[in-house]
Amino acid sequence: MSREMKYLIANVNMKALDAQLAFQCAPVLMNCKISNLLMVEKEKVEQVIQLFEETELSCKLLMISVEKAAFLIYRESELVSYLEQIEVQELMKTFGYVSCQLEKILEEFSKRYTKYVQADGDFPHEMGLLLGYPVEDVVGFIQNEGENFLYSGYWKVYTNLSEALEHFERYNQAKETAVRMVSEGKDIFHVLHTGSFQKTNQKQNMV
């Protein structure tokens, strides 16, 4: 974590939903990742659901416990496209998923994740796919039981380290930008607008 990020975190209310979203979900908010996991206090469940009803992002309540709740925050079309890749579908089948429909996948994953959190089931490795991780790294994590990785960042890297590091740098920059904006009093809608604007500019510059 950079010195700048440590300073920003020290000067923002990390219990506020906007700050939690900026810190945990900046890559998807800033339009450089297809999904992120969000952990919040149980009392904020309705607030999260209502917030994302007004945005281009989708949210799925995965698990709710006595104190905490977990959401998947995602860009639906991009996540669907990722899950439609042949190698992703083949791996999902090995995890026992027979449907390719996102809604059904998320429903089943929610059940498995809840059991895992309650210490009543194994870790659902398909989480890596729902978070858009490279298939090779998800497989590498399983085969190596989480050990022998090349690098540990937003996920444990087993292949294509240079490419992963480029992604991690973009995610770190997104997080720093989002947290800074929140620390300046801007809300999460402003962060989303900035992410969409930057994505549009990137596409135009490639033409």
| Domain boundaries defined on the chain | 3-206
What Cα–Cα distance (Å) separates residue 71 from each residue in 11, 83, 102?
26, 18, 15
Question: What is the pLDDT, as a whole number, of residue 206?
Answer: 38
* Cα separation, 115 vs 137, whole angstroms: 24
Instruction: Give the pLDDT band (50/70/90) at residue 197.
Output: very low
pLDDT digits (tens, 9 = 90+) for 128-153: 999 999 999 999 999 999 999 999 99
pLDDT above 70 coverage of the chain, percent: 89
Neighbours of 112 (CB within 10 A): 20
pLDDT digits (tens, 9 = 90+) for 30-78: 999 999 999 999 999 999 999 999 899 999 999 999 999 999 999 999 9
Average pLDDT over residues 72-95: 97
- Contacts of 192 by beta carbon, 8 Å cutoff, 6+ apart: 29, 55, 56, 57
* Cα separation, 97 vs 109, whole angstroms: 9
Residue corresponding to tokens 């991009």: 78
pLDDT digits (tens, 9 = 90+) for 174-187: 999 999 999 888 98
